[in-house]
Amino acid sequence: MQGTELSLKWLEVFQRTATLGSVRAVAKETGLSISTVSHHLRSLETKLGVNLLDHKRRPMVLTPAGREFLKYIEQALMLIRKGQAEVMTGNVYEARMLRLGLIEDFDNEIGPDLAVRLAKTMPQCNFTHRTRSSHEILDLLRRRAIDIGIANVPIDGAPDLQETPFLRDPFVLALPVNCQQTPAELLEGLGRLPFLRYDAGQIISQQIETQLRRLKINLPRRFEIESNQTLMAMIAEGGGWAITTPMCYMRASRFHAKVKLFPFPEKAFARSISIFATPECAVKSQQLVQDIVTRLIEKRALQPAFAIMPWLEGHFGFVSQAKP
């Protein structure tokens, strides 16, 4: 090895190149020029005296030495970032940056108040707020594009991220108020009212479909809808029925007079919503977000839901409160 001084920027660029497989992609993500990214990689290889990447392959791949080196620097970079985050947010009042991602379920009622309250608590902080689907939020966290995200827990989990289990949101049936069929009859495919599915790419859709397969329930695949508001509007107009959750229902308040929820008639199941964070995200920042969101959900979702659907109490709620 030709010396021991390694630039932190070289290591970060190498890590992102190993993940993305392209100098151009790293340049786009980091805002650096392509020539600067290439220079950082060459400088690191020169300092180490070995080739870490096969520069002739597209996408670029790691050499055996590169794979070995990556194992060490990923852990080192995570510890450096975590230490930096903990120091910078040792007093959240003095924190400088926080990037959040929320699923749409939290956007209308929870997101604005969360932003306002965080701004008051962290007056020195610059905020980025993004609304995305759950799988997109998890991807943003893995790419370090956000620090904290609230999302649906995927079927196979997210072991590479910090996770705080947060909310149990049970699956229920949403029917037009004048529907003549019972929930059990609809699950058996009786009647003409079509089943409305969430978009297949969404985690909520995958969870519903998995449970239907377990129960050997096979419903016609005619409608697949990405927007929760559109799905609720179709139900309100008598255009179909759906399997949804109280959280999805509560944020579609303008349709409440025409849409009614029923317990799932088969074995109960629920989606889990967690607060996810990058491995290096400061614990105090996560706790602050959790504390604020807990109070907002209690006021904006749980209490109003229990007032109109008392049967949800004990099933819809924070993980420490809800029944399995």
pLDDT, tens only, 122-180: 888 889 999 999 999 999 999 888 999 999 999 889 999 999 999 999 999 999 999 99
Amino acid (one-letter) located at 311: W
Q: Taking CA 133 as the corner, what is the angle to CA 169 and CA 245, rounded to the nearest 5 degrees?
A: 20
Strand order in the sheet with 270-277: 126-131, 97-102, 148-152, 270-277, 162-170, 317-318
Q: Give the predicted TM-score (pTM) of the model.
A: 0.73
pLDDT digits (tens, 9 = 90+) for 73-102: 877 777 676 665 555 555 566 667 889 999
Asked if the peptide bond before residue 59 counts as cis, ω within 30 degrees of 0, the response is yes
Residue 274: per-residue pLDDT: 96
pLDDT at 17 over 50: yes
Residue 2: per-residue pLDDT: 47
pLDDT above 90 coverage of the chain, percent: 59
Q: Among 269, 293, 74, 296, which residue's Cα sits nearest to residue 164?
A: 293
pLDDT digits (tens, 9 = 90+) for 214-270: 999 999 889 999 999 999 999 999 999 999 999 999 989 999 999 999 999 988 899
Domains of the chain, earliest start first: 8-88 (1.10.10.10), 92-169+271-318 (3.40.190.10), 172-267 (3.40.190.10)
- Distance from first CA to last CA of the chain, Å, rounded? 56
- Asked whether the beta carbons of 207 and 297 are under 8 A apart, the reply is no
pLDDT above 70 coverage of the chain, percent: 92
Both tokens of 37, joined, read 């990214």
Residue 90: per-residue pLDDT: 52
Both tokens of 131, joined, read 């609304």
Residue 1: per-residue pLDDT: 42
